[in-house]
Structure 1
Amino acid sequence: MAGCAELGITEIYIVGRDPQKLATFQHSWITSPLAISVKTCPWDQLSSLLPQTDLLVNTTPVGMYPHVEESPVEASVMDKIKLGAIAYDLIYIPRTTEFLNLAAARGAMILNGLPMLIQQGAAALQLWLQQPVPVEIMRQSLQHYLES
């Protein structure tokens, strides 16, 4: 969320299936110093939010092994995604999840979780070593590992 605020995003909707978890999450943002509006919505509102959404992020494990053919967002709902929106799945194995396939088929730009994994690892290693780390070498090594 801090990254979104840094990019100038002023409004974020968190959509979920569990009302209690949504309420807990919403409460956790009451005292946030970020200049960003965080609103929670029940899952059935996703289809009405998608037409004006610029970034749709999947943070669930749906689409990972052994359920690689599943998507947390049904095709009929994904039909409403805005052309040119970004669909971002934090999953990186498989590289292209069903969530991303559905979004791409509807004209969304897609991004998997590999860049975030690399950047988190690099940031942690840099803190640990107290010196710059070779992010590009890390990226190449991880991609080589995942391809083998």
Structure 2
Amino acid sequence: MKKNRNFKLYGIFGYPLSHTLSPAMHEAAFRRLGIDANYVVLELVPAAFKKLMSRSSKISLSGFNVTVPYKETVMKYLDSVRPEARAIGAVNTVFKQGKRWVGTNTDMEGFLRALMTDGGFHPSGKKAVILGAGGAARAVVYGLAREGVREVLIADCFPKKARKIAGDMRKLFKRVVYQAVAAGTPEVKEALQKADVIINATPIGLKSQDPRVVPEDWIPQVRRAKVIPRGRATQKASHGLKFFMDLIYNPAMTPFLKSAKKKGHRTLNGLGMLLYQGARALEHWTGRKAPVDVMRQALLEALKNKKEQWMMDGGWRMAKSQVYRHPPSTLRHPR
């Protein structure tokens, strides 16, 4: 069989990966752009991932994504890391420049685009509360600080991690006021009352049995008051209206967002962030403008199919056929 020299292979590394929707949006984009390529799921345990990365020059991929738990690990195996990714401390997208592997962070770009374009929220001069202090939280805090947020409180069950983010970002964005506290403390409750935007950057809410990331009674109720009619239109003012964002996209409405919506606040889930970070990754790989609308539709269809599969499987067995668990040797060029 004649080999197509134009064929490209992309993929995502992580562990576990049965939940990922990335193949759906990227393969839809390849089809729309007329690119002969596939996007595969590469679920590797840590030892196998490190072994493969140590031989990265022989990997037959043209580019790849990296997710939990390898966003930090991958950095030492790359030839170059973009300054913003270095500052954030995590890489989620790797592309080629000649024969060199270059790492960047499109999570931060995806988050900001979702927040400002889909959410219509602009951080400049605002107060923010970030729940969580992992890699996603680092990207969120960096993005908010870059866009001129005034104050950021970071809360985590491991306050040392929150303090590390605050300390790192303080060196880069000195005008921002940072506070790092333990999750579930009175400081968090008080900050929720004063914040303009509250973001859940933890995995709490992925599972139905998860506890609430913050108690519902800590979320203030929006107060609405009628304004004097102007002409034929009657306007209403909202007092205490806040913006709540959850980086989780499945379920679309986590208990965190449901509580916020119930209290009258604006909400946004993480699907837009997933979409836009994927679009930027594709642009790094191909040099082409990503077909965002096509990718969005593919994500929505994939989510619908995953829910249907979940119901057909009795709610316990995930479809495993899309996940590759091959040893690293299968991703190297033949000798």
The TM-score with structure 1 as length reference comes to 0.87
Q: Cα offset for 1:51?
A: 1.3
The one-letter code sitting in structure 2 at the alignment partner of 1:86 is F
1:130 aligns with 2:287: yes
CA–CA separation in structure 2 for the residues paired with 1:98 and 1:145: 22
- Shifted more, 31-40 versus 59-68: the winner is 31-40
Q: Cα offset for 1:33?
A: 4.2
**Cα deviations across residues 77-120 of structure 1 (Å, max 9, x unaligned)?**
22468732011000000000000001111111110000000000
Moved over 6 A (4+): none
1:8 aligns with 2:165: no
8 Å CA contact 2:170, 2:178 repeated in 1: no
Report the counterpart of residue 303 of structure 2 in structure 1: 146
Report the counterpart of residue 248 of structure 2 in structure 1: 91
SS at match of 2:172: coil
SS at match of 1:14: strand
8 Å CA contact 1:63, 1:72 repeated in 2: yes
> Given the alignment, which residue of 73, 88, 96 partners 2:214?
73
The one-letter code sitting in structure 2 at the alignment partner of 1:97 is T
CA–CA separation in structure 1 for the residues paired with 2:220 and 2:259: 8
8 Å CA contact 1:75, 1:102 repeated in 2: yes
1:109 aligns with 2:249: no
8 Å CA contact 2:189, 2:218 repeated in 1: yes
Change (3 A) 1:34 1:139: farther
The TM-score with structure 2 as length reference comes to 0.41
Between Structure 1 and Structure 2, which shows a larger proportion of strand residues?
2
**Cα deviations across residues 47-68 of structure 1 (Å, max 9, x unaligned)?**
1111111100001111103536
Q: Cα offset for 1:41?
A: 2.3
Report the counterpart of residue 42 of structure 1 in structure 2: 182
Alignment gaps of 5+ in structure 2: 1-140, 223-238, 306-335
Q: Cα offset for 1:131?
A: 1.4
> Given the alignment, which residue of 206, 224, 243 partners 1:64?
206
Change (3 A) 1:28 1:6: closer
Between Structure 1 and Structure 2, which shows a larger proportion of helix residues?
1
CA–CA separation in structure 1 for the residues paired with 2:163 and 2:181: 10
What is the percentage of aligned positions where both structures have the same residue?
29
- Shifted more, 138-147 versus 115-124: the winner is 138-147
Larger radius of gyration: 2
1:20 aligns with 2:160: yes
Alignment gaps of 5+ in structure 1: none
8 Å CA contact 2:212, 2:255 repeated in 1: yes
SS at match of 1:31: helix
CA–CA separation in structure 2 for the residues paired with 1:54 and 1:124: 30
Q: Cα offset for 1:18?
A: 1.5
Q: Cα offset for 1:128?
A: 0.6
Q: Cα offset for 1:121?
A: 0.4
Change (3 A) 1:80 1:51: farther
Q: Cα offset for 1:27?
A: 2.3
> How many residue pairs were aligned?
147
CA–CA separation in structure 2 for the residues paired with 1:116 and 1:127: 17
